[in-house]
Amino acid sequence: MEEAEQIDEIDEIPEVSTSGLTPKQARRLRVAAASVLLVALAVVLVVRLASRTSVLVVGVYGLAMILCGVVIELSRNGRTRLATWLLVGGLLAALAFDWLILP
């Protein structure tokens, strides 16, 4: 009889989520991150244009800002993993282009 009581007690233990974030929280987090990066890229673009006007500067930072907008839309539509990979890859590419190509 004691085993049956112990099994009932085990069934009453609340389950703990191992993923950490709910899908809704993950979407909001990525939208917020992409929005902050969008504003930061706009500020960097203005600063870079003030120091040196170049079509390459506008191209690199403009494409990075467009990528942030795409990430926001993907996150709103539930494609958070794809959005994360695009955001990380796009920002790394923008930084690499800034360092390697831009004067």
The boundaries of the domain holding residue 32 are 22-100
Please give the pLDDT value at position 8.
52
Residue 102: exposure state from Cβ atoms within 10 A (0-12, 13-18, ≥19): middle
Please give the pLDDT value at position 56.
83
Q: Is residue 49 part of a domain?
A: yes
Please give the pLDDT value at position 10.
52
Query: Which string of DSSP letters, residue by residue, matches 73-87?
Result: HHHHTT-HHHHHHHH
| pLDDT tens digit at each of 103 positions of the chain | 556 555 555 555 555 455 688 888 888 888 898 899 889 988 988 888 888 778 888 888 888 889 988 988 988 888 888 888 998 998 899 889 888 887 6
Q: Rounded distance, CA 9 to CA 27, Å?
A: 36
Please give the pLDDT value at position 36.
92
Q: Is residue 62 part of a domain?
A: yes
Q: How many domains does the structure of the chain reveal?
A: 1
